[in-house]
Structure 1
């Protein structure tokens, strides 16, 4: 079955290459200094759940560029995106699943490649095409063919959020399929003019792929703005949102999930079960936000635990409601275990934006974001999660990590973006091929 999909991908690229070779009108290279610069920001996924790419669009528009934001729309967009006159949102169509899986998958591959290329072509003359990876297919191939055949003057920039092949390995057991996907990602991922990474360690991996250091710009996620509120506002909002839960001895804990394999919800439940048996431990109200196919099974597992001092409930919230929730909670939990070990959880960034300290599942790159005992704590098992929850709510520890989290909220996205990418997107920028080495160093 997977072999047929591989054949389908290869056939798609052969046909797409021939199609573009004959029908695409190539443009002349070079910048027109009297024309407003135009960037396409691409997500082959839900724009409402792609905050980093939304932030890119807003930052580029702030520099006076015209921005076309391309992706599917399955949830509400940020109000700042909707209200920004410099940003045009183009929705990618979704394909309904029908028929045998192989035929559906092949149809989806062709469908997505064509519609992404078409959306880029309809933008007109572009100077920069900024794409999110993963998903690698169709993003890397389709955008590369667009730049190669349709708009040679555009510069392709890849924003590496993770590695697509590492995510595929979570659900696909056939090693050859993962290797084939990795090869695809390696071939098409190397040819961009510049590479943004969410961690320094990810940049080092790209260097191992043969990408020059001067083309790599580590750009850590940061909160778009501070959502920190004072203690009086926090108390009032908490009473308004959770009037039936707020008691003097209870703590409000939050975690967000999409119920996917890269988040260990089993560890959360096991850790809560252990914590529930600890004498004199504080009562917990655990809010689980998000949606996904595993939600019903998760709730059944919660009911089976029969917890006595812990209440777990779920909520689906809008962007603004979610940040309101974070601003009134006492602790955030991140269960993101990273398929590659090199990406960083956006949920922790959101929590820091509200001045919320975190307890996070440990993996190699996490220390670039969470500093043990300063803005949060780390755990590696259900037992250590239980111990971490107990430690976090001791006054001395909590006061310190709370202070550290509030400090994190002051370091916003615009501060980091302006420093790292502002010079690239300034008025009449030099070609991205010549990114200064000082902007792409492997250290912050």
Structure 2
């Protein structure tokens, strides 16, 4: 990634309309990060939440999105202020054994994320083209060539591909929401927090799952690195300007992620919950029911197209994150194709084995397990991030304000407690 630093030109001279040109120059990293907030792993929790509890859990999606906006803003600030990404900052700060352990858990998180992408893409290929799940999982190995092709054309090509796929997902769900025509008053009411989210154990379990599946640990490493691809002046004024535009970019992109996650839940609530189908938790179930219940043949196809676009998008960002983490922690650079084949190969094996033995039901359970595995890694990324951005020695004049530090530690505590509860319920409860 070092070669890509300062590779995207940013206009610095004044003049009318210059703010728009600067905004467009910084447009991209936020959208690459937002991919992790709407990957196939999120779909299962959103579908389950909507079908079981109607619009009630929209407030949880909103809360998790606010947390994501704050944490990604902090990751961007760390990268721009220090010139180090989160992996490099961990390597500099912690003893070698601790840094190695952090790298290891981050690699597990990336493989878990890859697991969700393999399953999601395989399911999409099965739904659209009838390709068996096992074959679909194997086909996902060739995505390495897509990543290599895009990287050969520069960082802007990667960003353009990501944004194009996001627009496909956005359009698919926009059409589905228009077809479903949910009651606006009930939808807006769902964004107001309800006591039953906490008092109802089943609702609380899905709520924790939504938060656990939303904030992705590797996204924090990714964002802190790719914001440095912009060629802003590396002085205080340039860094301040870069932080402002990078945070604007990621906030707008994560609002798009909020729309897509909310759209999945709203669609499940309007189409399934209202009709009494409160047990829809698997992607294949949703696909099979959508067209018959909406009375529009294209509804299920749009759902599968969005799923395929989501899987392809996640592939690109997971590849980049893996490269950043390995270089940052170990100062080790593997060729992109080798790095990609190793992580994707590790992810494909369990998918192929479980799917061959237990079919699509086994794949669905593996998808949920991948989210639990991701939840286990989250504290190991969030806590170092908040620790660094509250350290005046590291951040200098860009250290975060006391009120923001309190908010960041509160978010870290909420995520850790909820994830611990999710793990306890999964393995003990």
Q: Is the pair's TM-score, using the shorter chain for normalization, greater than 0.5?
A: no
The TM-score, its normalising length taken from structure 1, stands at: 0.27
- Structure with a larger share of its residues in helix: 2
The TM-score, its normalising length taken from structure 2, stands at: 0.28
Per chain length, whose mean CA-contact separation is higher, i.e. which structure has more relative contact order (CA < 8 Å, sep 6+)? 2
Say which one has the larger Rg.
1
